[in-house]
Amino acid sequence: MKRSLTIGALVALALVGPATAAVLEPQVWGWEQFFRVDWTVVERRGGVVVEGYLTSSSPSGLTRIRLLIESLDATGGVLAQRVVWVPGDIAPFSYAPFSATMAERASHYRVRVFTFDRIETHSWQ
């Protein structure tokens, strides 16, 4: 009886895997051809805020844009990640501001586009 319980626990552990979380990567390959990200880190109310602008070089409107903001250690290793929405849509060849409060301070930060969709039909007048 005890042996079957131990084997069951090992099988459950194998199915669950290790306790470490997977590191996220941008879900759209080549996002750099559509966007430029300009950002800075500021101290606000005792916390760290990453804020900036996302500029589109696309002739299409873009919507449902999410950014992957990462806290990095001195060697570039990922300490923490946060996915945030860019408010609203971005018209062709336009820009949008973004801001995200980070949970912890880090040596470096990195901002990349995580996901987005193109707006195929829309009047931008």
Q: What pLDDT is stored for residue 125 in this prediction?
A: 57
**Shortest CA distance to 118 belongs to which of 87, 92, 79?**
92
Q: What is the pTM of this model?
A: 0.76
* Beta-carbon count within 10 A of 61 CB: 19
Give the type of residue at 69: I
Q: What pLDDT is stored for residue 28 in this prediction?
A: 85
CATH number listed for the domain at residues 22-119:
2.60.40.1620
Burial of 89 (0-12, 13-18, 19+ CB in 10 A): middle
Strand order in the sheet with 95-102: 35-44, 47-56, 95-102
Strand order in the sheet with 61-72: 78-85, 61-72, 108-119
The series of mean pLDDT values per 10 residues for the chain, 125 residues long, is 42 43 84 93 90 95 95 92 95 95 91 92 59
Domain parsing of the chain, residue ranges: 22-119
> Encoding tokens for residue 34?
């559509």
